[in-house]
């Protein structure tokens, strides 16, 4: 309580002086808690998922895979060549030499033939059983937290108030895109249009799709809900969609971090850790939020 009172006093002083933007309470405790639970869960899901992928480093489209089929869309492996072992990645029939990163990693004296290198997986050694345990645990943590968050946000109005883009937001989308491209960020209590669309895409499309495709790959779910895998084009297609969704989430994370650094990392981190956020001074355009 003393900390909040102190920050409120700072906000009042800054507002009175007119030299600094107002300090507003932007992120609730619930928002901050779920944010960090998702961040930790996705970290372990990614690295344990790559461990699981290493057990069979290929992706297919269709219900089946095997020697009698030619339906792979991604293959990562290693092979011997006249100059020594090499790692390769094949994407839609196009082959690339990825020695040192994918397919073959480690030192020249002790090369390690595996799809993703040891530093990118949990555990670092090839251990499918442990990878599955870690992956499934954090999958349930993520799923449960997302479900509770969706229900609570619908009840308390967070979805409608903070995340649903309005007609005016959509009209301002071209300007938001132009401002972000020029690294012109506006800091306010509300999210800008790009934030709403990006966060909505992650929370309502990518994360649910990740959960559904994960369930479609589960033998127990295949027995309980046999039509789920069929709706997604088969277990192999579900596995490919799962992998692509993971790649999109990684891409979102990279862009998210770059925008935080560009918009002001101290202000952004303070917001997601303490809830308090420094807005633009009154004389600046305060219509939009930061990146």
What are the φ/ψ torsions at residue 107 (nearest 5 degrees)? Answer: -75, 160
**Which residues fall within 8 angstroms of residue 16, CB to CB, at 6 or more apart?**
none
Sign of the CA dihedral with 24 first, then 25, 31, and 33 last: positive
- If asked whether residues 27 and 89 sit together in one domain, one would say no
- If asked whether residues 67 and 186 sit together in one domain, one would say no
- If asked whether residues 267 and 205 sit together in one domain, one would say yes
Q: What is the per-residue pLDDT across 137-161, written as a single tens digit (0 to 9) for each?
A: 999 999 999 999 999 899 888 898 8
- If asked whether residues 130 and 205 sit together in one domain, one would say yes
HSE on the CB side for 291, CA within 13 Å?
24
- If asked whether residues 209 and 76 sit together in one domain, one would say no
HSE on the CB side for 251, CA within 13 Å?
10
Residue 279 is classified by DSSP as: P
**Domain boundary pick from 97, 115, 133:** 115
- If asked whether residues 103 and 149 sit together in one domain, one would say no
**CATH number for 25:** 1.20.950.20
- If asked whether residues 133 and 111 sit together in one domain, one would say no
- If asked whether residues 52 and 150 sit together in one domain, one would say yes
Q: What is the per-residue pLDDT across 19-62, written as a single tens digit (0 to 9) for each?
A: 678 889 888 888 899 999 999 999 999 999 999 999 999 999 97
Look up the domain containing 66 and give its range. Answer: 58-115
User: Is 291 part of a structural domain of the chain?
Assistant: no
Q: What is the per-residue pLDDT across 230-279, written as a single tens digit (0 to 9) for each?
A: 899 888 999 999 999 999 999 999 999 999 999 899 999 999 999 999 98
User: Is 289 part of a structural domain of the chain?
Assistant: no
Give how many domains the chain has, as a whole number.
2
Sign of the CA dihedral with 118 first, then 124, 125, and 128 last: negative
User: Is 234 part of a structural domain of the chain?
Assistant: yes
- If asked whether residues 63 and 104 sit together in one domain, one would say yes
- If asked whether residues 98 and 10 sit together in one domain, one would say no
């Amino acid at each position: 309580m003393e900390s909040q009172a102190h920050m409120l006093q700072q906000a009042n002083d800054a507002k009175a002086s007119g030299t600094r933007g107002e300090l507003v309470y932007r992120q609730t405790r619930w928002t901050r808690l779920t944010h960090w639970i998702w961040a930790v869960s996705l970290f372990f899901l990614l690295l344990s998922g790559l461990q699981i992928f290493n057990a069979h480093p290929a992706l297919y489209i269709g219900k089946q895979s095997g020697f009698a089929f030619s339906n792979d869309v991604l293959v990562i492996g290693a092979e011997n060549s006249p100059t020594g072992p090499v790692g390769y990645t094949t994407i839609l029939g196009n082959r690339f030499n990825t020695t040192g990163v994918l397919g073959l990693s480690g030192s020249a004296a002790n090369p390690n033939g595996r799809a993703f290198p040891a530093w990118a997986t949990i555990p670092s050694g090839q251990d499918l059983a442990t990878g599955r345990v870690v992956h499934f645990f954090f999958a349930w943590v993520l799923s449960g937290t997302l479900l509770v968050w969706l229900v609570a946000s619908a009840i308390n109005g967070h979805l409608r108030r903070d995340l649903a883009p309005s007609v005016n937001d959509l009209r301002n989308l071209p300007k938001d895109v132009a401002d972000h491209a020029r690294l012109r960020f506006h800091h306010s209590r509300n999210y800008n249009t790009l934030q709403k669309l990006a966060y909505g895409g992650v929370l309502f499309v990518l994360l649910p799709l990740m959960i559904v495709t994960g369930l479609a790959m589960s033998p127990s779910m295949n027995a309980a809900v046999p039509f789920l895998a069929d709706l997604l084009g088969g277990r192999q297609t579900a596995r490919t969609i799962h992998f692509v969704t993971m790649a999109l989430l990684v891409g979102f994370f990279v862009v998210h971090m770059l925008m935080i650094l560009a918009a002001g990392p101290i202000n952004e981190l303070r917001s997601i850790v303490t809830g308090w956020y420094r807005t633009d001074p009154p004389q600046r355009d305060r219509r939009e939020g930061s990146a």
